[in-house]
Amino acid sequence: MSGTALVVGGGIAGLVAAHRLSAAGWDVTLAEATSVLGGAVSPRFLDVPSHGETGAPETQTLELDGGAESFAVRGAAVRALVEELGLGEKIVAPEPLGSWLHGPAGPVRAPRLGIVGIPGDLDAEDLAAALTPAGLERARQDAEAPMDRWAAALAAGEPVTVAQVVADRLGDEVLDRLVAPVVAGVHSADPAVVELARVAPGLLAAAVEHGGLAAGVAALRSTGTPGSLVAGLDGGMVRLTGRLVEALREDGATVLRGVRVAALSRVPATGGWWAQISDRDDEVVRGLDVDRVVLAVD
């Protein structure tokens, strides 16, 4: 089946959706509210002082990833997309320097063995360095405290948030210092509203089986592929955005920037949609009739 489609939002999700629909024969219009495509995977430019060949002071402009700078390799979807777009040779492993977290207590090295910031080794030096002595002592209760409450929640299929289980098992300090920054950075969300099963599938079951949350993390990590959990692209993740934009051009899709889809309404006679498109001053510039709409907004 094909027809006309409007993709609202020119972030990475909108670009992928537009490319997929175009490839499947749809006549696609993509509308992006800002002047930049890629959303959280778009470049930022930073002028830094440098010295040119003559030694004279100059300004060099660095192109940096504005948001995502790597992709998870646990699922194969992004790697497959990167390869499909001909960027497979650009895939690089990150420098094995580990991650640092900045919080109210200052910068701390993120514990190396962890899942979404939840530590997997309660005796690790990096965990001790990241916490106060009282926070570490509280975290270590995870190894002793019964898991009954969480076994019951698992058996009942109850939704369990990251914050609930981390605060209970490892204490507020681990939640605030180690887990909240990772959940906020990776999932743009508060751990109090994110279900553990969404961001760490299988972790609650592993924790119940192994008698503690950290033990569950360690068990899950030991079954994973050794090596880094993420990969990057030489030149930055923005290469992916650039290649998708090129692909859309080759597909013949219409790409509109600086226009906001301000309203959508059903057209009962056709079963399609009418979209009201506004410019940056919120002046309505035109309407668009389409068969299908993909919402890929933030």
Ligand X SMILES: Cc1cc2nc3c(=O)[nH]c(=O)nc-3n(C[C@H](O)[C@H](O)[C@H](O)COP(=O)(O)OP(=O)(O)OC[C@H]3O[C@@H](n4cnc5c(N)ncnc54)[C@H](O)[C@@H]3O)c2cc1C
Binding site for ligand X (CB under 6 A): 8-14, 31-34, 39-41, 67-72, 185-186, 260-261, 296-298
Q: How far is the CB of 152 from ligand X (least distance, A)?
A: 33
Residues shown for the chain: 298
Q: Which amino acid is at 153?
A: A
Question: Among residues 17 and 108, whose Cβ is nearest to ligand X?
Answer: 17
Q: How far is the CB of 155 from ligand X (least distance, A)?
A: 32
Q: How far is the CB of 33 from ligand X (least distance, A)?
A: 4
Distances (CA, A) of 196 to 160, 166, 275: 6, 9, 37
Report the C-alpha gap between 138 and 45 in whole angstroms.
Answer: 43
Question: Among residues 34 and 141, whose Cβ is nearest to ligand X?
Answer: 34
Question: Among residues 72 and 145, whose Cβ is nearest to ligand X?
Answer: 72
Question: Among residues 91 and 186, whose Cβ is nearest to ligand X?
Answer: 186
Report the C-alpha gap between 182 and 228 in whole angstroms.
Answer: 16
Q: How far is the CB of 150 from ligand X (least distance, A)?
A: 28
Question: Among residues 219 and 237, whose Cβ is nearest to ligand X?
Answer: 237
Q: How far is the CB of 66 from ligand X (least distance, A)?
A: 7
6 and 31 Cβ atoms separated by less than 8 Å: yes
State the alpha helices, DSSP H only, in the chain: 12-23, 77-84, 125-130, 133-140, 148-156, 162-170, 172-174, 180-187, 196-199, 203-210, 213-223, 238-251
